[in-house]
């Protein structure tokens, strides 16, 4: 049962969060090259782009097996090579979120035509067919335009009922500066759509019941959970070692129809509504509260490490 003052409490926590982080943001370097010192108490606001993160993960012995093959889109020739190798591809913006501008291209054997579907850059549903591969590549090239795009194989990340889904894991620092799993929930998209983002019409459900409904044997479910544990334990420290201190990370994970776990996206400014919509009230409240505790810990460290006030006498003077 939700108490009458619950809404006021939420607004109070939010205002405190914004107040604390407004102080941290003034201390945070905006330029990626301006890395914070180990003890100066600053927090980096964003991680690198998707291509840089792809290269970082690709060279990780623990995580590379979870990351799909990723290449930059250069010209229609690069997309042609991808389709010839995988028979289908996904093209996604190198910078962007909420599923905007993501399209899949695949060859339909029965008709011989090429299917294009996904979401426009305005985040509306998109569906297109072309008769030949050359027409398909020309359409894709016009769609991408001057923007930077990445190419990945098309992964069958869907339920038996053909609903796309992914798993959002929210990792946050606590007041002891340690990474903790604040919440985990599932986002499901519309029937036969490409993405499962809430901004694109998806909905959120609880993780455990959803996982147990997937058509996998117990030993496969156990391995899936082990793989998710490896990703959430290894990824945040890896990114911090390369790009500097972070407060939180949203990690998106997929499970294909064969039970293989894939690392899809990493977001250094993740949302929290997925937990609220999934009915995970405690996760939602913790997702708001934990950054405040971490912010307070950093501010206290800065205050403790501050130099003496002007005019302080030296010992022995």
The sign one gets for the Cα dihedral 125, 131, 133, 134 is negative
Higher-pLDDT residue of 74, 199? 74
**In which band, very low, low, confident or very high, does the pLDDT at 200 lie, cut at 50, 70 and 90?**
low
Residue 98 confidence (pLDDT): 75
Residue 154 confidence (pLDDT): 96
Element (H, E) at 308: none
Higher-pLDDT residue of 165, 14? 165
Are residues 238 and 183 both part of a single domain? yes
Are residues 241 and 300 both part of a single domain? yes
Are residues 79 and 204 both part of a single domain? no
Residue of 50, 33, 27, 69 lying closest to 268 (CA atoms): 50
Residue 45 confidence (pLDDT): 42
Give me the mean pLDDT over the 134-161 stretch. 96
Domain holding 117, by residue range, is 69-153
Residue 35 confidence (pLDDT): 36
Which of 121, 153, 185 is a domain's end point? 153
With a cut of 50, say whether residue 74 has pLDDT above it: yes
The reply to whether 310 falls in a domain is: no
β strands within the chain, DSSP E: 71-72, 88-93, 103-107, 114-119, 125-130, 149-153, 165-173, 179-188, 203-206, 248-255, 261-267
The reply to whether 29 falls in a domain is: yes
Are residues 198 and 214 both part of a single domain? yes
Are residues 247 and 273 both part of a single domain? yes
Are residues 55 and 76 both part of a single domain? no
What's the residue count for the chain? 317
Reading the block at residue 23, the tokens are 């102080």
The reply to whether 312 falls in a domain is: no
Residue of 121, 168, 164 lying closest to 270 (CA atoms): 168
Side-by-side strand order, sheet with 248-255: 203-206, 179-188, 165-173, 248-255, 261-267
Give me the mean pLDDT over the 284-288 stretch. 97
Tens-place pLDDT, residues 5-41: 444 444 444 444 444 443 333 323 222 323 333 333 4
Q: Which of 128-132, 138-142, 255-259, 301-305 is predicted with the least confidence, judged by mean pLDDT? A: 301-305
Element (H, E) at 106: strand 103-107
Are residues 214 and 286 both part of a single domain? yes
- How many structural domains does the chain have? 2
Which of 119, 153, 187 is a domain's end point? 153
Which of 107, 126, 153 is a domain's end point? 153
**In which band, very low, low, confident or very high, does the pLDDT at 199 lie, cut at 50, 70 and 90?**
low
With a cut of 60, say whether residue 275 has pLDDT above it: yes
Are residues 250 and 278 both part of a single domain? yes
Q: Helix 133-144 crosses helix 76-86 at what angle (to 10 degrees)?
A: 130
Contact status, residue 196 vs residue 166, Cβ threshold 8 Å: yes
Task: Output the domain CATH number for residue 201.
Answer: 3.30.470.20
pTM value > 0.75? yes
Are residues 42 and 176 both part of a single domain? yes
The reply to whether 83 falls in a domain is: yes
Give me the mean pLDDT over the 165-187 stretch. 97
Are residues 58 and 131 both part of a single domain? no
The reply to whether 192 falls in a domain is: yes
The reply to whether 317 falls in a domain is: no
Task: Output the domain CATH number for residue 92.
Answer: 3.30.1490
Residue 95 confidence (pLDDT): 85
With a cut of 90, say whether residue 174 has pLDDT above it: yes
- Mean per-residue pLDDT of the chain: 83
Collapsing DSSP to helix, strand or coil, 88 comes out as strand
Residues 6+ apart with CB under 8 A from 47: 53, 239, 243, 246, 249, 266, 268
62 forms bridges with which residues in the sheet? none
The reply to whether 240 falls in a domain is: yes
The sign one gets for the Cα dihedral 52, 58, 60, 64 is positive
Reading the block at residue 20, the tokens are 């604390």
Angle at 107 between CA 140 and CA 193, to 5 degrees: 70
Cβ of 285: how many Cβ atoms within 10 Å?
19
Are residues 194 and 283 both part of a single domain? yes
Tens-place pLDDT, residues 233-269: 999 999 999 888 899 999 999 999 999 999 999 998 8
The reply to whether 227 falls in a domain is: yes
Are residues 45 and 175 both part of a single domain? yes
């Amino acid at each position: 049962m939700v108490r009458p003052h619950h809404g006021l409490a939420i607004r109070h926590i939010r205002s405190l969060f914004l107040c604390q982080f407004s102080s941290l943001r003034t201390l945070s370097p905006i330029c990626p090259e301006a890395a914070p010192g180990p003890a100066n108490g600053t927090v980096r606001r964003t991680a690198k782009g998707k291509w840089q993160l792809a290269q970082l993960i690709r060279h990780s012995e623990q995580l590379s097996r979870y990351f799909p093959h990723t290449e930059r889109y250069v010209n229609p020739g690069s997309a042609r090579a991808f389709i010839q190798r995988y028979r289908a591809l996904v093209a996604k913006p190198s910078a962007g979120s909420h599923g905007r501008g993501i399209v899949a291209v695949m060859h339909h054997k029965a008709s011989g035509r090429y299917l294009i579907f996904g979401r426009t850059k305005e985040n509306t549903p998109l569906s297109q067919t072309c008769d030949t591969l050359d027409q398909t590549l020309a359409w894709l090239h016009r769609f991408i335009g001057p923007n930077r795009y990445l190419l990945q194989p098309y992964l069958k990340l869907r339920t038996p009922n053909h609903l796309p889904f992914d798993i959002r894991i929210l990792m946050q620092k606590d007041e002891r500066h340690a990474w903790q799993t604040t919440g985990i929930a599932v986002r499901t998209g519309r029937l036969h759509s490409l993405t499962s983002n809430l901004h694109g019409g998806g909905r959120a459900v609880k993780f455990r019941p959803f996982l147990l409904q997937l058509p996998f044997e117990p030993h496969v479910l156990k391995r899936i959970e082990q793989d998710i544990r490896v990703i959430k334990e290894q990824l945040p420290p890896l990114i911090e070692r390369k790009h500097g201190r972070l407060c939180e990370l949203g990690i998106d994970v997929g499970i294909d129809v064969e039970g293989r776990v894939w690392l899809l996206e990493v977001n250094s400014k993740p949302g929290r509504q997925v937990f609220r919509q999934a009915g995970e009230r405690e996760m939602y409240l913790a997702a708001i509260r934990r950054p405040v505790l971490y912010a307070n810990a950093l501010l206290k460290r800065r205050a403790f490490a501050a130099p003496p006030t002007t005019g302080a006498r030296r010992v022995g003077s």
